[in-house]
Amino acid sequence: MEKGYLIAPERLITDDFIVRCYFPGDGPLLAEAQNASYEHLKTFMAWAKPHTTEEEAEQRAREWRAHYLLADDFGLGIFSPDEKRLLGSAGFHLRGVSLDHKSAEIGMWMRADVTGQGLGTAVLRALLDWGFTAWPWERLAWHCDGRNLASRRTAEKAGMQLEGVLRAHRLVDGVRRDTFCFAMLRELRVTS
């Protein structure tokens, strides 16, 4: 099957946050958000580390921008309305599936000091709405570790359906963990 190409939407503006692709120059904001959130991220985000330099984060932002333009992965920053603060990060990820399938997995983390205020749910709802209107997605999925109650609850509140549990799916620190699989389909979309 053809690899496919997409001139992807680049920016979603709401009253409370802006979701947009990363650009060169975002490194310092990304490093600051990750470094302020390490304790919060380390349990479920395998890539988290105690300190990320601005140079490392800048490289990551540029890699995301490159993938965005190649249309093979769509990393998104979640910014405050003035774009001076990174509130979190998200993405529509193909996870090895061709773009032609119109099926992506949403990933997301929020910075520690904004969690528990409804923002994660609001961003996920906005991503689902944007994904099924401005993007070609027919299916959007959300996968999380079964122990990640905040993530499970966020998916439920955004109207995603639990499709099943992959039992003992992943080996995390020597222990087999379940993966909870949520999804929403464009044709059965619930707007909440």
Ligand X SMILES: CC(C)(COP(=O)(O)OP(=O)(O)OC[C@H]1O[C@@H](n2cnc3c(N)ncnc32)[C@H](O)[C@@H]1OP(=O)(O)O)[C@@H](O)C(=O)NCCC(=O)NCCS
Concatenated DSSP letters of 61-114: HHHHHHHHHHTS-EEEEEE-TTSSSEEEEEEEE-TT--GGG-EEEEEEEE-GGG
Binding residues among 126-145 for ligand X as defined by CB under 6 A: 144
Q: Which of 24, 25, 118, 164 touches ligand X by CB under 6 A? A: 118
Residue 3 CB, shortest distance to ligand X, in Å, is 27
Q: Report how many residues bind ligand X under the rule CB under 6 A.
A: 22
Q: Which of 35, 148, 161, 179 touches ligand X by CB under 6 A? A: 148
Locate the DSSP E strands across the chain.
Answer: 11-13, 18-21, 74-79, 86-93, 103-110, 139-145, 161-172, 175-185
Q: Which of 14, 115, 161, 179 touches ligand X by CB under 6 A? A: 115
Q: Indicate the residue among 70 and 166 with the shorter CB distance to ligand X.
A: 166
Distance in angstroms (rounded) separating the CA atoms of residues 43 and 60: 21
- Which residue minimizes CB distance to ligand X? 120
Footprint of ligand X (CB under 6 A): 40-41, 44-45, 108-110, 115-121, 144, 148-151, 153-154, 157
